[in-house]
């Protein structure tokens, strides 16, 4: 499957099977968008291409691209397309922009040596880079020998008017039957940049607010979230398969998430029919506001002996013992006590401790932020603990699996993982954190430091980051 002549047909078959499964379960796509080979699947799903024609084009595409020159490379950069395009002048046509996956997510492709040179230059400027595992330099001049064969294969297609909205990532706009019927369209679609960001924005402009990824993992769902980072809560990206090792659970979770956003789901086909499958009657009186869900606890069973002792001191509100465990604390006892109290409130809030309703019957206020009452000089440590917990949660690892200075990308954080980390930090702090902020920083330590700077700017006690105030905002 490392050869594109096999990988592309396999992806097409997987995407098509998942699309039909989603349709069988009630998820009908009113608008479709595909990334690279995914656009051919989308064209068939939209009714523009028959299954025979779409499959024939996929196979022809895979074969001619396999025959293209090898030895290229592709690298993803956390930088906007205009700046990346300007930097290509340094390598004299050997590298091209292959994809624009977000406002600050651009992929370059071309000769391996030239790509490595450019990537090194971007890293020297402090920009995150990631080498992609590919067999060829797709969407670059390396694909030029494949274009004639692709155009020849496309001439045999019978193209119908799409039955659903189909946005092309070649142009970033709604595709017409005439465009899809032009043989050169499918040749250019394999050579020109994948304008995924423009395509997502085009769908959003049409009113699409729930994006469901039909694919073998959650890669493009994270990219969609990056494209829509400024629209807090208004749009959502849901991967049909969040965890490839547990596909059935992932699909059920995706159905539930889509249903919660108002998308129709054929529950009778999911859970069967009969009395046992009927939804329970919902009472009309207000629910008692009591929490019974079992949630992860920040207990003292894991971690080093020193960590366990530290959290015991927090649980006991023992500021003196806390200071002794941490060591080197020069702050006044009252200040240390405030830090310990804030950490205790945070632990209680995220683990669901405490009663749900007081004796007067009033619903209590939401749990305090773990940052409440924390002195500025202690804030970074609290933020770092929160970031590390969010990283471990996104990866499904035990606490402490990722260290403060470990590279998050190498640890396995993807764009969708960044979305989950940002969401968790936002929920726990009451601050809106965009996924792009996670992707822009190499380690948990760097991310926590950046959050600290932005919070300081927001609070007015640090003028360093006022120009980036819009990156985070209080809800």
pLDDT tens track for 6-28: 999 999 999 999 999 999 999 88
Are 131 and 81 contacting, i.e. CB atoms less than 8 angstroms apart?
A: no
Going by pLDDT thresholds of 50, 70 and 90, the confidence category of residue 380 is: confident
pLDDT at res. 185? 95
Residues in the chain: 475
Q: Does residue 303 come out as left (phi exceeding 0), alpha (psi in the -120 to 50 range) or beta?
A: left
- Sequence-distant (6+) residues with CB within 8 A of 475 are 232, 426, 430, 431, 432
Query: 8: part of which helix (H) or strand (E)?
Result: helix 4-24
pLDDT at res. 453? 86
pLDDT at res. 470? 40
**Is the pLDDT assigned to residue 38 strictly greater than 60?**
yes
Going by pLDDT thresholds of 50, 70 and 90, the confidence category of residue 281 is: low
Beta strands in 161-314 (DSSP E): 165-168, 173-174, 210-213, 236-239
Q: Report the C-alpha gap between 346 and 339 in whole angstroms.
A: 11
Instruction: Find how far residue 157's CA is from the centre of its chain.
Output: 35
> Of 368, 40, 29, nearest to 185 (Cα)?
40
State how far the alpha carbon of 100 is from the alpha carbons of 103, 225, 380, in Å.
Answer: 8, 14, 33
- Sequence-distant (6+) residues with CB within 8 A of 171 are 179, 195, 198
Backbone angles phi, psi at 54, to 5 degrees: -65, -45
Lowest mean pLDDT among 3-12, 211-220, 394-403, 441-450: 394-403
Going by pLDDT thresholds of 50, 70 and 90, the confidence category of residue 461 is: low
**Is the pLDDT assigned to residue 296 strictly greater than 80?**
no
pLDDT at res. 463? 41
β-pairing verdict for 210-213 and 236-239:
parallel
Q: How many CB atoms lie within 10 A of CB 130?
A: 16
What pTM does this model have?
0.71
239 CB burial (10 A radius; 0-12, 13-18, 19+): buried
User: Which residue would you say has higher pLDDT here, 319 or 43?
Assistant: 43
Going by pLDDT thresholds of 50, 70 and 90, the confidence category of residue 368 is: low
**Is the pLDDT assigned to residue 300 strictly greater than 60?**
no
**Is the pLDDT assigned to residue 50 strictly greater than 80?**
yes
Query: What is the overall mean pLDDT for the chain?
Result: 83
Are 82 and 97 contacting, i.e. CB atoms less than 8 angstroms apart?
A: no
């Amino acid at each position: 499957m490392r050869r594109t002549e096999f990988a592309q047909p396999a992806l097409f078959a997987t995407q098509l099977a998942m699309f039909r499964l989603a349709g069988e379960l009630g998820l009908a796509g009113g608008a479709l968008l595909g990334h690279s080979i995914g656009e051919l699947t989308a064209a068939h799903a939209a009714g523009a291409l028959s299954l025979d024609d779409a499959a024939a084009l996929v196979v022809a595409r895979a074969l001619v691209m396999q025959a293209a020159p090898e030895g290229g490379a592709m690298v993803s950069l956390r930088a906007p397309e205009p700046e990346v395009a300007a930097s290509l002048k340094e390598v004299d046509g050997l590298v091209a922009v292959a994809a624009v996956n977000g406002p600050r997510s651009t992929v370059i492709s071309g000769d391996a040596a030239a790509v490595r040179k450019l990537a090194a230059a971007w890293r020297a400027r402090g920009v995150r880079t990631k080498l992609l595992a590919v067999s060829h330099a797709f969407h670059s001049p390396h694909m030029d020998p494949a274009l004639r064969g692709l155009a020849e294969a496309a001439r045999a297609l019978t193209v119908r008017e799409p039955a659903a909205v189909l946005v092309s990532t070649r142009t970033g706009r709604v595709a017409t039957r005439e465009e899809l019927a032009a043989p050169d369209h499918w040749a250019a679609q394999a050579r020109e940049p994948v304008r995924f960001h423009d395509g997502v924005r085009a769908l959003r402009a049409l009113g699409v607010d729930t994006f469901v990824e039909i694919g073998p993992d959650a890669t493009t769902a994270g990219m969609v979230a990056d494209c829509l980072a400024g629209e807090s809560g208004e749009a959502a990206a849901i991967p049909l398969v969040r965890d490839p090792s547990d596909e059935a659970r992932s699909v059920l979770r995706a159905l539930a998430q889509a249903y919660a956003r108002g998308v129709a789901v054929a529950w009778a086909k999911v859970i069967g029919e009969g009395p046992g499958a009927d939804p329970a009657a919902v009472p009309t009186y207000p629910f008692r506001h009591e929490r019974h869900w079992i949630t992860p606890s920040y207990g003292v069973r894991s971690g080093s002996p020193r960590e366990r002792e530290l959290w015991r001191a927090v649980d006991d509100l023992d500021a003196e013992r806390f200071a002794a465990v941490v060591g080197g604390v020069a702050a006044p006892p009252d200040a240390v006590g405030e830090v310990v109290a804030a950490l205790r409130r945070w632990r209680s809030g995220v683990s669901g401790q405490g009663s749900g309703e007081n004796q007067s019957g009033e619903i209590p206020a939401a749990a305090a932020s773990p940052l409440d009452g924390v002195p500025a000089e202690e804030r970074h440590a609290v933020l770092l603990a929160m970031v590390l917990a969010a990283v471990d949660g996104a990866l499904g690892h035990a606490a402490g699996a990722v260290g403060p200075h470990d590279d998050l990308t190498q640890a396995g954080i993807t764009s969708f993982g960044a979305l989950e980390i940002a969401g968790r930090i936002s929920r726990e702090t009451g601050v809106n954190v965009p996924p792009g902020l996670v992707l822009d920083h190499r380690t948990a330590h760097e991310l926590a430091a950046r959050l600290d700077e932005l919070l300081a700017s927001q609070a007015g006690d640090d003028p360093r980051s006022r120009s980036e105030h819009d990156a985070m905002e209080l809800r």
